[in-house]
Amino acid sequence: MSNVTHDVVEIFRRRTRSPLRPRSSDLIPAIFPSFRRVIPCSDTLILGEAEQWGRNIFIIAQQKPKPENLRTKEDLAKLNHGMLTAEDHSSIIRFLKRAVQKSQHESVSVVTLIDTYGADISMESARHFQAFFIAQLIRDFLTLPLPTISVIIGEGGSGGALAIQMTDRRAQFDDALYATAPPESLAAIIFRDPTKVREALMVSKPTAAELKELGIIDHVLPSPKKVDDINGYAKVLGSYLEKTVKDLGRRKLAALIRLRRTRAKSFGLYKEEAKKRSGLWSTFFRLTPLRRKAVVAPDLKTFSLTSQDLQPGIDWGEQNDPAINPEEYVKCGDMSQKNSGQEKGCGAVIPLSRFLANHYVCPQCGHSLIMGALGWINCLADPDSFQEMNRDLSASHLLHPTLMTPEYQSFITRQDQRSPFHEALVTGEATIFGYPVALAICEFYFAGGTMGVVFGEKFFRLAEYACSKGMPLISLCCSGGARLLEGTPALMQMVKTVNCITRIKRYGLPFISILGDPSTGGAIASYAALGDVIIAEPNALVIFTGPRVMEARGFPVLEDDVRGRALCKNSRHIYENLDFYGDIRGIHEIAERKDIKISIYKYLEYQRSCQPVSNRYWSPGRKVI
């Protein structure tokens, strides 16, 4: 692209988002004369087969709208043009199963063409477990017993692109962009202004050259001079695909799958740090006691009362008169300094000690606040049983130097002041009613529990520890999604954590996923959706894209439909349409915070009872033989 501007905003506006840019439906016929489209497909998804280069090619392609698709008012009013829905993802999963079946008789390769703003963020897809489908597709591509190739031909946005991008070979045109989120959404989240596209693109580092340096793609394709040159794009793409299909066809599938796993383990690590990893195993499993037993939420609004403050009608429950037993209090419905006057609640005045002992839940009406990692550890683990792992691991140890900007360093410093932990994931070993488990707890007080390279690395090390000890893995999701300030490496932690779960399953160990409030973004679209058992809080927000971003992009939001209780109810219908949902089972159980520990142990006991008789008779806290 020597004759094309290298300014990332100009690339984005004039080429990546150009309405004249070739779409998948333009390139596929020019490269694959024998292509046969599979029905049903949607306007945004192309599925089909072709015989070429001595193999049967299964093609999965995303399709942005062309100018002729946007001529009527109805077309323009449609907000999810170019975004794959939950139904589209279901079609891809079934198509991949068909490819595997056909590979038993023929040589089969899978090619994906990526060009999307992101996954569909409509309420319709959210109700149908959109995030769960993305997690399933990432897992399927990591384990698929077929050679796979992906090419970003235009725009790769968020999980919508990642769902079909984790392949054996990954290429991108030099005028294409691939980011953690579409620039408008990223700007709305970081800068609270969707028009700050330039600032968002500078943060996300989405160009092919940057992504190759970060190890997210492995080949950059030169684009033709003119953005509407279909033949020029097709010639470059066809040549790359022919060479790569033939090369992968000569390789053993077992070796390809091992390489996928190896690559997934290192996503987000700076190359020099990845080289050191082989000598760090002695520190991977270092356990240390918690430094603090309890920390009040940084935004919790508390106050003190005296006898003069008592008002007739205030329900004090079983508490003593505050004039006799002074302490701090909270008021249900006005607990957060950030959302003063905007909360639901019954108005009860609750002693702070009672509120904390009840895990940040009002004992009168059940209204709850988001709880930090220490609160969740106290809620789930036996007293004084939790030993923390990799306490001091930080982004400065792992992240590529170009991503450790002064702005990001300042951000990390501010988060350190809000949390007793140094990152958004706290990992370690604990017991639950005496049963030893590996625990991964999101720390919402640190950057909203967002997934970054440290989050993914700590999850990986915990999974390795669980495998080495034969322990169940328990995760508590309370996350706002990917750490946007880390750019695309943060998005890749979705792949890294999914790969950890596939390893846990190869060891035959149980994985129980707890969905706290909120469970959003990359966390729910990766490891948190893959639990053997998934337990959610009744009011947990469970959705891929947060309501604020949906509203900023013009999508209506019905939060009650994507809360834990409603989605658990929807999960019952999955069993009536197993062909559509595949391996997805949604949310298995709803439990109040005070009851989650008992629910976990119920499944752990069941798992133990399914072990061979010789392994059943063990005392809690003792390793199973």
Mind listing the pLDDT tens digit for each residue in 444-489? 999 999 999 999 999 999 999 999 999 999 999 999 989 988 989 9
Which domain CATH number covers 583? 3.90.226.10
262 and 375 housed in the same domain: no
Does position 343 have pLDDT exceeding 70, yes or no?
yes
Per-residue pLDDT, averaged over 167-184, amounts to 93
In terms of domains, do 340 and 254 share one? no
Please indicate whether residue 496 or residue 276 has the higher confidence score (pLDDT).
496
Same domain, 40 and 74: yes
**What average pLDDT does this structure show over 27-33?**
97
Q: How confident is the model at residue 161 (pLDDT cuts 50, 70, 90)?
A: very high
Please give the pLDDT value at position 386: 96
Count of the separate structural domains present in the chain: 3
State which of 337, 358, 379 marks the end of a domain.
358
Sign, CA torsion 559/156/483/375: positive
Between CA 484 and CA 452 the distance in angstroms is 8
Distance (Å, whole) CA 127 – CA 567: 7
Half-sphere exposure for 60 (CA within 13 Å, toward CB): 30
Task: Note the Cα 393 to chain centre separation in Å.
Answer: 21
CA neighbours within 13 Å on the CB side: how many for 387? 12
Same domain membership, residue 140 and residue 261: yes
Q: Which DSSP symbol is given to 393?
A: -
> 450 and 353: one domain?
no
Q: Model's pTM, two decimal places?
A: 0.92
If you write DSSP's letter for every residue of 546-567 in order, what string do you get?
A: -HHHHHHTT----GGGGBHHHH
Instruction: Work out the mean pLDDT of the chain and round it to a whole number.
Output: 89
Burial 504-514 (b: 16+ CB within 10 A, else e): beeeebbbbbb
- Which pLDDT value is given to residue 272? 53
Same domain, residue pair 58 and 159: yes
Band the pLDDT of 621: cuts 50, 70, 90: very low
Domain presence at residue 523 = yes
Q: What is the pLDDT of residues 295-332, one digit of tens each?
A: 888 989 998 876 444 444 444 444 444 444 468 999 99
Q: What is the pLDDT of residues 512-538, one digit of tens each?
A: 999 999 999 999 999 999 999 999 999
How do residues 240-270 score in pLDDT, each as one tens digit? 999 999 999 999 999 999 999 999 999 988 7
How many secondary structure helices (H) and strands (E) does the chain include?
27, 20
The answer to whether residue 3 sits within a structural domain is: no
The mean pLDDT of 91-97, rounded to a whole number, is 97
Report the DSSP beta bridge partners of residue 59.
48, 111
Task: Give which of 83, 219, 245 is closest to 161, Cα–Cα.
Answer: 83
- Is pLDDT of 596 > 90? yes
Is pLDDT at 221 greater than 60 in this prediction? yes
pLDDT for 17 equals 92
- The lowest-confidence range among 128-137, 341-350, 592-601 is 341-350
Please state, in angstroms and rounded to a whole number, the distance separating the CA atoms of residues 332 and 358: 13
Percent of the chain with pLDDT over 70: 91
pLDDT of residue 5: 52
28 in any annotated domain: yes
Examine the domain organization and report whether 547 and 588 are in the same domain: yes
- pLDDT band at 508; cut points 50, 70, 90: very high
Range of the domain at 571: 371-611
Q: Is residue 520 part of a domain?
A: yes
**Beta partners for 430?**
437
Judged by DSSP in three states, 505 sits in helix
Q: What is the pLDDT of residue 528?
A: 98
And the tokens for 519?
């469970």
DSSP per-residue codes, 261-290:
HHHHHHTT--HHHHHHGGG-HHHHT-EEE-
Cis peptide bond N-terminal to 363, omega within 30: no
pLDDT category at 45 given cuts 50, 70, 90 is: very high
Looking at the domain assignment, is residue 80 inside a domain?
yes
Q: Which residues, 6+ apart, have CB-to-CB distance to 153 below 8 Å?
A: 22, 24, 27, 113, 114, 115, 173, 176, 233, 237
The string of pLDDT tens digits covering residues 382-406 is: 999 999 999 989 888 888 888 888 8
CA distances from 481 to 143, 443, 484, 566, 597 (A): 24, 12, 9, 21, 25
Biggest CA–CA distance in the chain, Å, is: 87
For residue 78, pLDDT over 70 is answered with yes
The pLDDT score that the predictor gives to residue 439 is 98
The whole-number pLDDT of residue 320 equals 45
Arithmetic mean of pLDDT, 484-509 = 95
What does 307-373 look like in DSSP terms, one character per residue?
A: GGG--TT---TTPPPTTTS--EEEETT--BSSSTT-------EEEHHHHHHTTSB-TTT--B----H
Regarding whether 347 and 234 lie in a shared domain, the answer is no
The reply to whether 272 falls in a domain is: no
Element (H, E) at 427: strand 425-432
Q: How many residues does the chain have?
A: 625
Residue with tokens 């072709």: 50
For the cut 60, the answer to whether the pLDDT of residue 615 exceeds it is no
For residues 391 and 394, what is the distance between their CA atoms, to the nearest angstrom? 9
Element (H, E) at 511: strand 511-520
In a domain, 376, yes or no: yes
What are residue 403's phi and psi, to 5 degrees? -90, -15
Res 312: pLDDT? 42
Integer Cα distance of 98 and 92 in angstroms: 10
User: What's the pLDDT tens digit per position in 540-591?
Assistant: 999 998 888 888 778 999 999 999 999 999 999 999 999 999 999 999 999 9
Residues 6+ apart with CB under 8 A from 122: 79, 80, 85, 555
Same-domain pairing of 197 and 314: no
Domain presence at residue 426: yes
Neighbours of 2 (CB within 10 A): 7
Confidence class of residue 229 from pLDDT cuts 50, 70 and 90? Answer: very high
Angle formed at CA 590 by CA 587 and CA 595, multiple of 5 degrees: 135
Residues 380 and 349 in one domain: no
* Residue 43, pLDDT score: 87
Query: pLDDT by residue (tens digit) across 187-211?
Result: 888 888 888 888 888 888 899 999 9
Tokens of 363: 């004992």
Average pLDDT over residues 495-523: 96
Pick from 132, 47, 140: which is nearest to 86 by CA? 132
Both 497 and 561 in one domain: the answer is yes
446 and 346 share a domain?
no
